[in-house]
Structure 1
């Protein structure tokens, strides 16, 4: 990659994440002189990658011209996986969905065919989207489990015969591929596009079939030494002797996951608890979560009780982390965040009971505004995080027929 091409990618990356910038702002962010930045911006405008957005608000003196990336210059295939369901989307440079999101059942546990099925699903999805591969900059995939980002391997799911998952998918699809843990990507989405953008230290709790954690420390995503940081589900916090999915007993997950909430709902209904919930609505996990969220939003006492119990137990785990990390904010994200404010009170109650007040006094608890889409947005962000890096599979984008980036 030539120096100029790299500069162009760095500018496009900043515009993707930041929205609108002046030339001076971009010069400062990418550490290139204003004259060089101006020249490259003019080329990107001429090539159709960047739009001039008029003048910035006056701060005294001459108002600078502002710039933004064109939404349709290139696209990203975004894949969000959990243990049971995989969602696929194609997103533009403004994080808008340009085709209907596809959802397929793809169980990961003990499934030797999960990776071939995933590859076939991605290929079919791109083919039916009608978008040329030349206009797709890459594929970002979020997945549960112990994901080694550097090696491109998932040690928990998607068996790949010790060959990089990223390599296998990339060779089969013909596009650069990047993978990461689902909770890390949810935190990346929150860092780049959510409430934590203004905070330096944030914990992002992914409420789903487990309870994951993404860590934002000093305005950066923290993955740990091997990329495995944030295994919040498996803090051994209870003396309940319940076997966890990890093989240990008493983990946080055994009292807090959506699977646990669903099972407790079934048990309660069978025992005669009064509720607007219907037992038949809880037979399939996806539909069960929707039914529980709908009932809670209408104030169903039994459902609110279930979420409150799980929330309080999540709060006990959060209290431990507050003592260690002293974050400014806790963001509740992922699939379960659809239940909204029903989580806030019980989590705050647990924090009040189990935290030293001085440590927790300035820690706010918020529901993600990105919600269930956070993982898809995070997977797209992962591609753009690597957009300007040599040796990361980044490709030269073609925004439209006959219009290519000049070096």
Structure 2
């Protein structure tokens, strides 16, 4: 079997993963190949039970085209979603469905010399307990905070390794590993499957323990000269003398992160603010964050005020993005997106105050439907973005090669 033919099949699988269902004509357009070649390869993939027929396309007046989808249990991906405090690990099929439970691990990254060892142990333990054999796993995608060079496998902020993170994990787990910045992968998830689908220019804000940014420019992720573009959290907007995690003062993050939300809520309760929030939840930032958002969604005035104050300040930062990049779309994604439309009014209010109307009027603000799951989906998508390259890698003796 020729390498070129195998690569064409891998390309078809990748396209079906991204689009879920395509016709032969669609695949011809996306892969820039002839219809006879695509039809032949599709038929071979059908015979190998890699893909399945999934119905007919909508009628356009002529004969309806037969559609094809990848078989979800053909192979699997391990997705790892990390933030500064918590790591989640999941097994996902090729329709981005979770297989079994998500494993959650308390894994603080800051000033933790054992973080990489803890991560390795957690993933290894997870693999030992999943209901499939490791040879059915295409790869492991890891979304993590920090300044990351995906090509070199280095996180310059956390998880320091003697060689690099990817080499360490691959040598230990014997499965291909890919890493990238969490906000970039949230943007990838929104671009492929979410609110930014088919958009050319969009800004995806990761509302979490920091305030990250993934930039979609001209239909692709924009990473900047050395891959560090999008450090939205560290725009110096405030004269508050608050020390940021980056070592500077007055960054956007110091007034808008979900950690700030939790701290503001705790202070308000200590000052006697009337609220349905229980002070006992504030020992755990994640539990406290969820409690505040639930309270706001249930109409708690104090909780709504807390979110609105942060929304106004995020909107001030968003106005800068609009002035610089003139995006069509701003997507609010990540953990904080669970608060839904509560964010939209204060952000819009800030745009009315800080943004030139002619620019702001052409930008739409959407709350992600992927929300907290966007980072997981982005980690899985990272593996599939590299699916074709895996065939020629040192890990090429995998199940997809056997069926091609």
- TM-score when normalising by structure 2: 0.97
Which residue of the partner structure matches residue 341 of structure 2?
341
Which residue of the partner structure matches residue 282 of structure 1?
282
Structure 1 position 94 matched with structure 2 position 73 = no
Which residue of the partner structure matches residue 16 of structure 1?
17
Which residue of the partner structure matches residue 255 of structure 2?
255
Q: Deviations over 1:32-75 (max 9, x none)?
A: 11111111111100001010123323323333221110010000
**Alpha-carbon distance in 2 for matches of 1:120, 1:195:** 35
Structure 1 position 405 matched with structure 2 position 392 = no
SS of equivalent to 1:98: strand
**Alpha-carbon distance in 1 for matches of 2:396, 2:79:** 17
Q: Deviations over 1:336-394 (max 9, x none)?
A: 11111111100110011100001111111111000100000000000000001266666
Structure 1 position 381 matched with structure 2 position 384 = no
Using the TM superposition, name which of 122-131 and 309-318 deviates more: 122-131
| Superposition map of 1:194-209 within 5 A | 194-209=194-209
SS of equivalent to 2:101: coil
Q: Deviations over 1:137-181 (max 9, x none)?
A: 0000000000111111000000112x1211110111111100000
Which residue of the partner structure matches residue 301 of structure 1?
301
Which residue of the partner structure matches residue 144 of structure 1?
145
SS of equivalent to 1:342: helix
**Does structure 2 retain, via aligned residues, the 8 Å contact 1:386–1:392?**
no
Which residue of the partner structure matches residue 219 of structure 1?
219
Mark the runs of 5 or more structure 1 residues left unpaired by the alignment.
Answer: none
**Alpha-carbon distance in 2 for matches of 1:392, 1:111:** 32
Which residue of the partner structure matches residue 357 of structure 2?
357
Mark the runs of 5 or more structure 2 residues left unpaired by the alignment.
Answer: none
Structure 1 position 51 matched with structure 2 position 52 = yes
- TM-score when normalising by structure 1: 0.96
**Does structure 2 retain, via aligned residues, the 8 Å contact 1:194–1:370?**
yes
Which residue of the partner structure matches residue 178 of structure 1?
178
Per-residue deviation, 1:396: 5.3
Per-residue deviation, 1:27: 1.1
Which residue of the partner structure matches residue 371 of structure 1?
371
Q: Deviations over 1:169-213 (max 9, x none)?
A: 011111110000000000000000002113211111101110000
**Does structure 2 retain, via aligned residues, the 8 Å contact 1:282–1:291?**
no
Using the TM superposition, name which of 124-133 and 370-379 deviates more: 124-133
Per-residue deviation, 1:301: 1.0
Using the TM superposition, name which of 35-44 and 78-87 deviates more: 35-44
**Does structure 2 retain, via aligned residues, the 8 Å contact 1:138–1:394?**
no
**Does structure 2 retain, via aligned residues, the 8 Å contact 1:388–1:394?**
no
Number of residues paired by the alignment? Answer: 402
Structure 1 position 241 matched with structure 2 position 241 = yes
Using the TM superposition, name which of 227-236 and 62-71 deviates more: 62-71
SS of equivalent to 2:402: coil
Which residue of the partner structure matches residue 312 of structure 1?
312
**Once superposed, what is the RMSD of the aligned Cα atoms?**
1.4
**Alpha-carbon distance in 2 for matches of 1:394, 1:219:** 30
SS of equivalent to 2:129: helix
SS of equivalent to 2:312: helix
**Alpha-carbon distance in 1 for matches of 2:22, 2:395:** 23
Q: Deviations over 1:75-107 (max 9, x none)?
A: 000000000000001100100001110100001
